Structure 1
Amino acid sequence: MNDLKIIGSEEWCSFETFGISAIKARVDSGAKTSSIQANKIKVFYKDTEEWVRFHVNPLQNNRSIDIICEAKIHAKRSVKSSMGISEERLVIKAPITLDDDIFDIELTLANRDSMEFRMLLGREALHNRYLVNPSTTYLLPEFSQEDLDEKYVAFRKEKTGLKIALLASNPELFSNKRLIEAGQARGHEVIFLNVQQAYMKFDAKEPQIRYRGGNVIDEFDAIIPRIKPSVTFYACALLRQFDAMNTYCLNSADAITQSRDKLLATQLFAKNDIHIPITGFANSPLDTKDLIKMVNGAPLIIKLLESTQGKGVVLAETTKAAESVINAFKSVKTNILVQEFIKEANGQDIRCFVVNGKVVASMQRQAAKGEFRANIHQGGSASKIKITLEERKLAIKAAKILDLPVAGVDIIRSNKGPLLLEVNSSPGLEGIENATGLDIANVMIEAIEKKLKFKS
């Protein structure tokens, strides 16, 4: 017993046969078998023997160091996790190095991304070799960050581009595919992240975002949010978390939230002397008649506060129809805005695409026959248009008020001059790229490069 070495509850070890020069282990005499973090596990055959190929990220919260390992499968065992859930794990044998000692141990391959340590050293490996002093750590040599940098220098790839995440819901949408293509064409790594498959850890010292299955995602240089209305609340929570982790978001959570709240956005526009169609908002059905008069009577537009892409927007052509629609919405406690109808627009509006305070493209949209509002998603058409200086200033100012680096600003021409309809924080690319022939996706990637001072 006196010949046994004393080690702490946490120690550094290595597996030189795998090229793992340093990995931090939790020493746990309560666990029988040792375990190592492994992902992308794939079983294959060498002659008639079963082998396994797996990837190890030996440093916690650092996926840039990715070591591919191969070993003969020693056994398959049912192991109960700390949550009490049993699962079958592959077991291998490998020589471990602890200070000057080298000996074979059994290792189960497990996803330990959610664990504090990439490895667990169990009692079978300790038996007749070590005594554990749980009140201390690192009694064997400890590695500094400089030591780790030197040990893993061969695995560190030279950074030739940015790592960008596209945070959205559908990778097949035209706009999302275009942004991924544009980023990759400029030499960046662009990864699609599904909003609803990411989740968060709130912690002052180590905030985290994880992605389906426990993978920590914390190495992005920038996030491009493409948020559909139904996931606005959750997506903005994710964006705030990325911001807390010092990741640049092309549009911030606060800016997107403001743009999606049509009532707040309308109030901000009016406060900042942005000309909009006369708009009304009321709660009581008793005020419906005066509300209609306030916006110059019928015909008038009725908008759901959470409407997008022209959905939830109704034209009431008579006062009676307006009263019925308004009161129907109020009876089910649905918030709406009532807005004057600009007849002289003839079903046309202008979409200005603003990036970092500049209108980079503009198109005129024409409503489909029988429709009152221009909407490409509902059969409307689009064409390139040269906007006036007044319209350009209006678009830039509207995006600035909502603090949106990227925005689709919709303007309507009236007898009173250009009026702002609304501002979209996730503007589509298909219509405006097809109408203008411009590469808007490339402009958005360039905006990220400029913000991060990246030179290709």
Structure 2
Amino acid sequence: MNQLKVVGNQEWCRFNHLGIPAIKARIDSGAKTSSIQATDITPYKKNRENWVRFNIQPLTENRSISIECEAKVVGNRIVKSSSGIPEKRYVIKSYVTMGDDSWEIELTLADRDNMEFKMLLGRQAMENRMIVNPSDEFVLGKISPEEIDQMYKSFVLTKSGLKIAVLASNPELYSNKRLMEAGRARGHEMVFLNVQQCYMKLDTATPEIRYRGGNVINDFDAVIPRIKTSMTFYGCALLRMFKTLGTYCLNEAESISSSRDKLFSSQLFSKNDIHIPTTGFAKSPLDTKDLIHMVGGAPLIIKLLESTQGKGVVLAETNKAAESVINAFKSLNANILVQEFIREANGKDLRCFVVDGKVVAAIERTAAKGEFRANIHQGGSASIVKISPEEKKLALKSAKILNLPVAGVDLIRSNKGPLLLEVNSSPGLEGIENATGKDIAGTIIQAIEKKLKHNS
């Protein structure tokens, strides 16, 4: 025991082989495995061996610094995350230096963007070497902010592009990854911000937005919101704050809120001569029969106001079934819309992708077998399609009414002509990019450049 080195609950580490001069680690004897923050993980072969290339942002206080690393893969491991969810991770080996000692340890590559510490040192790496004093920290030596700046001086790039944030929840989603890639390819500094890890300081003198760990994030040129439905309220509050600080928001809070409120947006479309399927809304169960009759009777569509990606949308094939579903929803105090069913569409609809006042791509989506609604998320398919001038005009006008520079406009072909189904303020890129082969993410970045008068 006397030969064991005492360490605090957090210490500075160095990884010479990975090119990391300093990274703050949480010393956690309760965790078996050590892990380090890694994004953009790409496996590849080198001399017939499995290797992996990845990026590390070692400083919580400066997320613009990113180091590209590579290492040989020594295995894969199922590790429970801090939320208790098992996930598969790559395992590498590297020499770590703490104080005067260096030794080889195993590290799992994990996305620790939401964590306070970019590295965790587990008990396997500490065995027969050290003992933790949980009431102390930096026992092996402190590093001042000035020393950190000097260590990372060579990693700070002279700014030539814009600083753009993708405000979302999951950095691994196709759309978010593509926007990050497209921005970097055009020379911009791209930063992923988790909506839930941002918080605000409201005052007259120094209003601020901060990120987990206390990092002030007031210096973005633009924000691309990719806010999931459950985070609409808080995400829009953040967007209003970014706008107050002078940051350009590609789709503003008011526009996103309007698009997410299906009743309000339907009222706007009706007012502005945008043709939509006949739609009804009522609160009292006493009006159910007339509500069904008003939209032409069964079959009809019943949808929750907050439905997304086809969830919360029901086809009622008879009037009796429609009454049962509508009254069931109302008994739960759920707000619903009742909408006529366009039989002649035959399970197909159109997704028109609008960027900066232009339809940059369009696809036809076909419902999976047994489904009544076209939805790629539920097994549907997509193919490139040529839209008519009338459909193009309808898509552009719909996005303009909601003041959305970027929108996924869903139309349906009917015997009455094209009808608007809905306008999505955070449209996915995967289906439309794969079907059309177009670089939609790059087009979105170009729209930001144009708005901010930046020559890439």
**TM-score normalised by structure 2 residue count:** 0.69
Percent identity between the two aligned chains: 71
- Paired amino acid for 1:453: K
Residue pair 1:165, 1:220 contacting (<8 A) in 2 also: yes
- Give, in whole Å, the separation in 1 of the partners of 2:305 and 2:399: 19
Residue pair 1:361, 1:432 contacting (<8 A) in 2 also: yes
Structure 2 regions of 5+ residues with no counterpart? 1-9, 25-60, 66-97, 100-133, 147-152
- Give, in whole Å, the separation in 2 of the partners of 1:230 and 1:177: 21
Q: Indicate yes or no: 2:388 matched with 1:418.
A: no
Q: Indicate yes or no: 2:269 matched with 1:269.
A: yes
Q: Aligned residue for 1:382?
A: 382
Q: Aligned residue for 2:320?
A: 320
Query: How large is the Cα RMSD of the aligned pairs?
Result: 2.9
Superposed CA deviations along residues 36-59 of structure 1, whole A, max 9, x for unmatched, are xxxx9724699xxxxx9589xxxx
Write out aligned runs for 1:145-294 (5 A). 158-294=158-294
Residue pair 2:63, 2:191 contacting (<8 A) in 1 also: no
Write out aligned runs for 1:311-390 (5 A). 311-390=311-390
Q: Aligned residue for 2:130?
A: none
Q: Choose which of 128, 131, 136 in structure 2 pairs with 1:88.
A: 136
Helix, strand or coil for the counterpart of 1:290?
helix
- Give, in whole Å, the separation in 2 of the partners of 1:53 and 1:427: 39
Superposed CA deviations along residues 116-150 of structure 1, whole A, max 9, x for unmatched, are xx9xxxxxxxxxxxxxxxxxxxxxxxxxxxxxxxx
- Give, in whole Å, the separation in 1 of the partners of 2:15 and 2:170: 37
**TM-score normalised by structure 1 residue count:** 0.69
Q: 1:161 to 1:318 in 2, by over 3 A?
A: same
- Give, in whole Å, the separation in 2 of the partners of 1:307 and 1:363: 22
- Paired amino acid for 1:212: R
Q: 1:91 to 1:277 in 2, by over 3 A?
A: same
Q: Aligned residue for 2:37?
A: none
Helix, strand or coil for the counterpart of 1:383?
strand
Q: 1:89 to 1:252 in 2, by over 3 A?
A: same
- Give, in whole Å, the separation in 2 of the partners of 1:309 and 1:155: 41
Helix, strand or coil for the counterpart of 1:307?
strand
Residue pair 1:394, 1:420 contacting (<8 A) in 2 also: yes
Helix, strand or coil for the counterpart of 2:193?
strand
Q: Aligned residue for 2:90?
A: none
Q: 1:62 to 1:173 in 2, by over 3 A?
A: closer
The structure that has the greater radius of gyration is 1
Superposed CA deviations along residues 346-390 of structure 1, whole A, max 9, x for unmatched, are 011000000011100000001111111100111111100000000
Q: Aligned residue for 1:22?
A: none
Q: 1:438 to 1:89 in 2, by over 3 A?
A: same
- Paired amino acid for 2:268: L
- Paired amino acid for 1:312: G
- Give, in whole Å, the separation in 1 of the partners of 2:268 and 2:253: 17
Structure 1 regions of 5+ residues with no counterpart? 1-39, 47-51, 56-60, 66-71, 74-85, 94-107, 112-117, 119-152
- Paired amino acid for 1:253: A
Q: How many residues align?
A: 337
Q: Aligned residue for 1:42?
A: 12
- Give, in whole Å, the separation in 2 of the partners of 1:307 and 1:44: 48
Residue pair 1:347, 1:366 contacting (<8 A) in 2 also: yes
Q: 1:64 to 1:341 in 2, by over 3 A?
A: closer
Q: 1:195 to 1:45 in 2, by over 3 A?
A: closer
Residue pair 1:164, 1:191 contacting (<8 A) in 2 also: yes
Q: Aligned residue for 1:13?
A: none
- Paired amino acid for 1:307: S
